Amino acid sequence: MTTTYDATLGLYIAGEWLSGGGRDTQDVRNPATGAGQAALPLATAADLDAALDAAQRGFVLWRGTAPEARAAVLQKTARLLRERADRIAAIATLEQGKIQAEAKGEVAFAAALLDFHAGEAQRIYGRVLQRPMGTRSLVLHQPVGPVAAFCAWNFPIMNVVRKIAPALAAGCSIIIKPSEETAGSAVEVMRCFQDAGLPGDVAQCVFGVPDMVSRRLLASPVTRKLSFTGSVPVGKHLMKLAADTMMKTTMELGGHGPVLVFDDCDLEKTLDLLVAHKFRNAGQVCIAPTRFHVQEGIYDRFAAGFAERTKAVKMGDGMAADSQMGPMANPRRPEAMEALVEDARGAGARVLAGGTRGSEGGFFFTPTVLADVPLTARAMNEEPFGPVALLHSFASVDDAIAEANRLPFGLAAYCFTENGRRQNMLGDAIEAGMIGINSVRLSAPDSPFGGVKDSGHGSEDGPEGVAAHLVTKSVHMV
Ligand code: NAD
């Protein structure tokens, strides 16, 4: 089993890798052991100003670059990611914890996103409006300008690509601040862009004290768009900062995925799908299925089947070939799980599986199933973001829909039923940006990804993700 964290960390500004120079540093830790494994340099105010200057120059250069040349860089970056997949996936597991199969899948998805955006870069069209002979009105879509992007640690490769690819496809430059806790994966992605020939000023990657970095980047008149993936409170805070310069925003925030399981579903198949999906990335997925509302007639069988499958999930170091679920990404998560489980238990929930920290050291929390969780329990209202499944029963379809729409979140929702009329009705009635009907696959490069209500606004991926980096202009000529 490889245990070497083979990443050389640095800031990437104006085509240069920067480290040392008296900058403060932060340890990148291995979640399976808790041990520090590399020192990450943190940006100074002067570094951020240099990144802003570069992004301004990079924007002028890149918006004037032919779409097919932009596409070629994106395609070459995809090729390099695929060639380096094993190494990058090992770095991701060693700093984030997810199992190797998931880390490799993440690299493959990131490469597919780049290929898709290479195509989209060449499909940005405007319109010519019908006007009297000899006159014209045009509708143009132009790149919005330099983007400031901030993204979380849960998909340390894909989250970075999901920010950079649409910006570059649209003709924008970008400054990205990935999570400091998973810096090595982001650095490897940046090296792929660099080696693919992306001009140095077009994309900068910085790390630092998050609040200091976001305040400086968002206060600058250079920045014309904010794109954020992370928690609802931080998202709301950043939007307030962005309001001062009226910049465009894309907010991909948290969720609390309801799963409505009706008594006419294929129960065994549903359980197989849901248990595998629940514990992916130790539950640290914004579209994770979270609260399972099960129709009364099958509730007991569903709970027993869920608990039995959960107990069989093998937890261990993500680098070990037989692990099915790794540790959580940082020490905050098992602490949060412990508090939510204790609260639910106190409110009357039954622990059918797990419910404790792992005994392995590191940041492990056991795959957990809680049954009969009251709607008033904290976990039923706050995003757990961890390997905790919450079970609750319902009687009627109307009750189920009301429960799905009860919380201020609206990211992902799932429904399991063989009734076609009901499938259509649920797809219409549930307030969520993405809905899976007998399916847990909500994400694909060509499909818009994003939420409604407190889960944010604006889509990533699909043509919508590129459109979110464009501004519209009409030109009238007589
Ligand atoms: P957090 O909100 O403190 O951090 C989330 C991310 O935002 C981190 O990468 C962090 O570097 C960044 N961040 C935090 N403050 C920032 C600021 N002022 N300016 C710029 N960036 C900032 O929370 P956490 O403890 O790391 O994660 C827990 C919560 O985050 C979860 O409950 C979940 O809701 C949410 N989360 C959501 C997603 C998602 O995909 N939507 C991903 C990861 C975490």
Query: What residue spans define the domains of the chain?
Result: 11-253+453-477, 257-437
Q: Which of 28, 162, 216, 231 to mutate to test the pocket of ligand 1 (most atoms within 8 A of CB)?
A: 231
- Tokens 């089947």 identify what position? 305
User: Which residues 6+ apart lie within 8 Å of 128 measured at CB?
Assistant: 136, 137, 138, 139
CA of 31 to the centre of ligand 1 (A): 17
| Residue of minimum CA distance from atom 38 in ligand 1 | 230
Instruction: Supply the DSSP symbol for 156.
Output: T
Q: What's the confidence (pLDDT) of residue 69?
A: 98
CB atoms within 10 A of CB 186: 30
d(CA 203, CA 148): 10
Distances (CA, A) of 69 to 63, 116, 118, 165: 11, 15, 9, 14
Q: What's the confidence (pLDDT) of residue 148?
A: 99
CA of 235 to the centre of ligand 1 (A): 8
d(CA 185, CA 89): 8
Contact 42, 25 (CB under 8 A): yes
Q: What's the confidence (pLDDT) of residue 361?
A: 86
Query: β-strand 434-437 against 412-416: which pairing, if any?
Result: parallel
CA of 190 to the centre of ligand 1 (A): 21
d(CA 134, CA 131): 8
Q: Which of 232, 234, 285 to mutate to test the pocket of ligand 1 (most atoms within 8 A of CB)?
A: 234
**Residues noted as catalytic:** 252, 286
User: Which residues 6+ apart lie within 8 Å of 70 measured at CB?
Assistant: 62, 118, 121, 168, 169, 171
Q: What's the confidence (pLDDT) of residue 359?
A: 82
The alpha carbon of residue 6 and the mean position of all alpha carbons in its chain are separated, in whole angstroms, by 24
Q: What's the confidence (pLDDT) of residue 1?
A: 53
Q: What's the confidence (pLDDT) of residue 125?
A: 97
CA of 224 to the centre of ligand 1 (A): 22
Helix, strand, coil percent values for the chain (each to nearest 5): 40, 20, 35
| Residue of minimum CA distance from atom 27 in ligand 1 | 231
Q: What's the confidence (pLDDT) of residue 4?
A: 87
Q: What's the confidence (pLDDT) of residue 136?
A: 95
Q: What's the confidence (pLDDT) of residue 282?
A: 98
CATH 3.40.309.10 fits 257-437, yes or no: yes
**In this structure, is the dihedral angle defined by the CA atoms of residues 247, 206, 105 and 170, taken in order, positive or negative?**
positive
Instruction: Supply the DSSP symbol for 297.
Output: G
What's the CATH code, domain 11-253+453-477? 3.40.605.10
Distances (CA, A) of 378 to 135, 229, 394: 63, 23, 19
| Residue of minimum CA distance from atom 11 in ligand 1 | 179
* Pocket-forming residues, ligand 1, beta carbon under 6 Å: 150, 152-154, 179, 210-211, 214, 229-231, 234, 238, 252-254, 286, 332, 383, 385
Task: Using 70 as the pLDDT threshold, list the residues of the chain that sit under it.
Answer: 1-2
d(CA 164, CA 191): 13
CA of 448 to the centre of ligand 1 (A): 21
